[in-house]
Amino acid sequence: MSYAEYLKQTKSVERDYIIEYEGTQISLKKSPHNKLQIEILQKLIPLVSKGKPELLYIGDASDRDLRQKNERMEELGIKVMSQSGNMPDIIFYDQQEKRVIFIEVYHSTDPFTLNRVNALKSLCHCEAGTEAAFITAFDTTAKMLKHYKEVAWYTEIWSSDELTHLLHKNGDKFVGRPL
């Protein structure tokens, strides 16, 4: 093999993460942020949803509008557009639970703070009875603990190094309910 052939061969090495969701291939540039997004699609979503929720939005670190179903979000009353500085990294709609799931992949931006949650809520005008879940995803528990106080109450926290558990910052939902 000539040196030129060798160089050509190494250039053909796969450089992206590729995952299939809802029968569509999604290609994300290799980065720690996008690796965590893949883990969310593969590990977190089955944990928080009985079915396979509809993926309304996912952004790549280099392409914020990688996959965005604007018409479907409009149908649902979700006015969250990428122009909003509060745009989360991933948005799902779980029709079975009638729930919009907003996920912030904590890597370089802030987790779901109270201000971000309120800003997103103000942009959502879904039909009555629709729930919202706000999940901040971390790659390690150590990183989560470092930023724990920044995460808004009444949201959820997930860490990819503890795949099967969520931390709920809304204890009254699980403790002290009326009989």
Q: What is the pLDDT of residues 15-55, one digit of tens each?
A: 688 888 988 888 888 889 999 999 999 999 999 998 899 99
What pLDDT shows up at residue 13? 47
Domain-located, residue 51: yes
Instruction: Identify the pLDDT of residue 81.
Output: 67
Chain-centroid distance, C-alpha 46: 13
**Residue 91, domain CATH:** 3.40.1350.80
If one counts the domains in the chain, the total is: 1
Judge whether 11 lies within some domain: no
Residue 59 lies in a domain: yes
Q: Which domain holds residue 77?
A: 17-173
pTM of the predicted protein model: 0.85
Q: Contact at 8 Å (CB) between 49 and 101?
A: yes
In whole angstroms, give the CA distance from residue 138 to residue 104. Answer: 9
Q: Is residue 179 part of a domain?
A: no
